[in-house]
Amino acid sequence: FAWKPILKSINDRETSIVDALNQAKLARKEMETLKEDNERIIREAKIERDAILKEARDIKDRIVAEAKDAAKAEGDKMIESAKQTINAEKNAAMADIKTQIGTISINIAESILKQKLDNNEAQNELVQNYLNKSNLN
């Protein structure tokens, strides 16, 4: 009569071991599924990170290019303005020099004429030369 309880105990133990093994298999499968999901999530996160970094680099490159273009345009504008200022100052200086040369030429001519025309004979000679030249033309 002790044999039945021993067999029942062995069967119960065997059933509990089989159940534990099945639970372990299920847990292992669930862990593998979780691991695969985790790896997939990590791959997707890396892809998203790479896309975000590429977009950030593109934005940075665009901003740098725009800044370079703006700086070049501003530099060109400043150079053109400086050229115009230099030309205006050059033209003003040339006009001033021409005026000064004209004034000096008139003063020299007056001085020469005063010296030459101090006597009547020189005056008559100058008038005669002028008339001769105008008759030839």
6-57 tens-digit pLDDT: 888 889 999 999 999 999 999 999 999 999 999 999 999 999 999 999 999 9
109-131 pLDDT, tens digit per residue, is 777 777 666 777 777 777 788 77
Q: How far, in Å, CA of 132 to CA of 128, rounded?
A: 6
Tokens representing 134? 């105008």
- Tell me: pLDDT of 91 over 90: yes
Tokens of 114: 């005063």
Domain residues of the chain, as ranges? 3-130
Distance of CA 19 to the CA centre of its chain: 71
